[in-house]
A and B are shown apart, each in its own frame.
Chain A
Amino acid sequence: MSESSSTVVHRPSDQQPAPAIRGARIQLVGLTKRYPGQAEAAVDNVSMEIAPGELVMLLGPSGCGKTTTMKMINRLIEPTSGQILIDGEDVLRFDPTELRRGIGYVIQQIGLFPHMTIAENVGLVPKLLGWKAARIAARVDELLDLVGLEPSGYRDRYPKQLSGGQQQRVGVARALAADPPVMLMDEPFGATDPITREHLQNEFRKLQRELRKTIIFVTHDFDEALRLGDRIAVLRDRSVIAQFDPPERILSQPADDYVAGFVGSAAAIRRSGLTTVDDALRHIELDPIGDEPSGASVTGDDTVRDAIDVMLRSGSNRVTVTDRAGVALGGLDFSQICELWTRAGGHDVR
């Protein structure tokens, strides 16, 4: 267990200089929640530290206390004991309402208010904070743009006129309205169909690369945790941390059988889906162009899993790697991938 490490794992394809981190540091110290009349604590002595701008996934089966842990941070549930520090300040000393206005909150049911337009939903917190109407309107448009909804087409609609995926985008925009440094997300994409969910996840990941908020994201979906998390906290019953590590390390070095159970089979294949060809090329040299079959090509943005997939489909153990414009850079051989995987062992390929 290596939850003491608090380094931010930068996403590999952050080639451009990383934008300024606007998140806050969150520390949970011995956080415990006990409900009266229950022998066992719902959340038992949880401690973790989350760096500014980090996206941490709380992963665990339903009923393990992950949502309870999260809801204590914005005090929808009051802790029995322990401390929650945001940028060093104890949240229990804040007025709960003031505290929550500084923390974005997205829930699985989305919770858009059906009697308010999209603009009213997104602009609600700014309005409560006393912003001027013009500033609210500008902010609403900016946020709708950010989540990919054309402001002029959506701001005056009502939630029921939007699809589930669109509603969840609005939910994210609403949580971002007052530009909070911290976001809490409780299975936000859980209720959408698998295709929409993957879209939302990918776009949310891109969004987070720009926003650099500190995000605590509750999920029971291991693939979602892998896809989005800078680090994953795998939780047992009573929210006890089984392992708190970057996704690659959880895949390559699960702390125990419990974590291994989440990883399941095909851990190496899953890892290859987290590593881009560009990452791999930092460790291996491309061969000169050789006898790669035509059409069997990947770009640096594709994952190593995509490369293997292309190999399997084209019946060849070689693919051409091209740049974004389609110009061939060289050939990649399956044996190079195998060698890299063996060499890297448990280490971070990214």
Chain B
Amino acid sequence: MSVDTLGSAFDVTSGGRWSRGQLARHLAMPAMLLVAGLALYLWVSGQRLDSIESRVLNAATIGDATLQHLTLTAIASLLVVVIAMPVGVMLTRPRLRWLTPVALGAANMGQAAPALGVLVIMAMLFEIGEKVAIAALVVSAILPVLRNTIIGIQQVDRSLVEAAQGMGLTPLQVLRRIELPLAVPVMLAGLRTTVVLSVGVATIATFVNAGGLGDIIVAGIKTARTPVLLTGAVLTTLVAFTLDWLAGVLEHSVRPRGL
């Protein structure tokens, strides 16, 4: 077959992954976060802090709370990935497909139920502490990853799956070489939502004595100290935005080429 009869080949070269515009957008976010963080720091430093305020607003306390917050979020998100991705994949297999509505319904309830209520009930049933906080986080943030794993695989063009089967790929090869790579962008979008959701929900970990930035917020409310409250709230927001940004970069970096 000759090529020239069918129009000249396109001169598309698959260049770098990042276009100039995308790079600018991805760099704008950390810059804005830095500015916001700096503004908060300058404002707090400009205040005359009383003894209650300075007991909370010091590098060690803030650092500990932030680290705890990040740890809670990271462990919960990791657990969500380890649980929801394999379960989501299995729910797309023909034999288990009938279970999909049941599982999605359960995950939906987890997200719809007030996280604080879930946390309190679990703390009453078990014990207070980090474990319960993480369990409550997993329950309330599992839906996005589960749903997006299922949808990500379901949205893969059926004709591609059929072509792969017809070529002699085993069901496992179809999953690993075709369905999963093509579902990755959707699955990662789910993970991004889960992470951001976890950052917010993790603020209530303070009620079961599991630490985190919720400690600072609650301290600010209880002692009616606006700088403390504001610091806790703004830091939580900054953590959420930072993780969202990181997840966005990751999402873009591992997106299969050619899509």
Residues of A whose CB lies within 8 Å of any CB of B are 74, 76, 97-103, 105, 107, 109-117, 124-125, 128, 147-150, 153-154, 156-163, 165-166, 169, 174-175, 184, 196, 199-200, 203-204, 207
Contacts and interface: CB of A to CB of B under 8 A. Distances in A.
A156 B178 CA distance: 18
B258 interface: yes
A155 to B, nearest CB: 12
27 contacts: A76-B162, A76-B166, A97-B168, A105-B167, A107-B162, A107-B163, A109-B157, A110-B159, A111-B157, A111-B159, A111-B163, A113-B163, A113-B178, A115-B257, A124-B167, A125-B167, A148-B1, A148-B2, A149-B3, A157-B14, A160-B259, A161-B12, A166-B9, A169-B1, A175-B167, A199-B5, A200-B1
Contacts of B10: 161-163
Given A158-B257, A196-B6, A115 B162 contact: no
Contacts of A165: 6-7
Contact of A160 (B2, B5, B6, B258): B258
A105 B258 contact: no
B164 interface: yes
Interface in B124-167: 157, 159-160, 162-167
Interface of B: 1-3, 5-7, 9-10, 12, 14, 157, 159-160, 162-170, 173, 177-178, 181-182, 256-259
B160 A158 contact: no
Residue of A115, A147, A165 contacting most chain B CB atoms (<10 Å):
A115
Contact of A107 (B159, B182, B257): B159
Contacts of B7: 163, 165
Nearest to A159: B258
Contacts of A116: 258
A157 B15 CA distance: 11
Contacts of B173: 128
B160 A128 contact: no
Contacts, number: 107
A105 B9 CA distance: 25
A107 B163 CA distance: 7
Contacts of B259: 114-115, 160
Given A109-B163, A117-B258, A166-B3, 20 more contacts: A98-B168, A103-B166, A105-B166, A109-B159, A110-B163, A111-B164, A113-B177, A113-B178, A115-B256, A115-B259, A149-B1, A149-B3, A158-B257, A160-B259, A162-B10, A165-B7, A166-B6, A166-B9, A169-B1, A203-B2
A100 B167 CA distance: 6
A59 to B, nearest CB: 21
A147 B258 CA distance: 22
B256 to A, nearest CB: 4
Contacts of B165: 76, 100
B164 A203 contact: no
B257 to A, nearest CB: 7
A200 B9 CA distance: 16
A115 B167 contact: no
A42 B155 CA distance: 28
Contacts of A199: 1, 5-6
A232 B237 CA distance: 69
A153 B3 CA distance: 11
B163 to A, nearest CB: 3
Nearest to B158: A109
A111 B162 CA distance: 8
The 5 closest A-B pairs by CB, nearest first: A111-B163, A148-B1, A158-B258, A101-B168, A105-B166
B257 A128 contact: no
B168 A107 contact: no
A101 B256 CA distance: 26
A109 B157 CA distance: 10
Contact of A161 (B14, B168, B178, B181): B14
Nearest to B173: A128
A14 B152 CA distance: 51
B23 to A, nearest CB: 21
B158 to A, nearest CB: 9
Residue of A113, A116, A199 contacting most chain B CB atoms (<10 Å):
A113
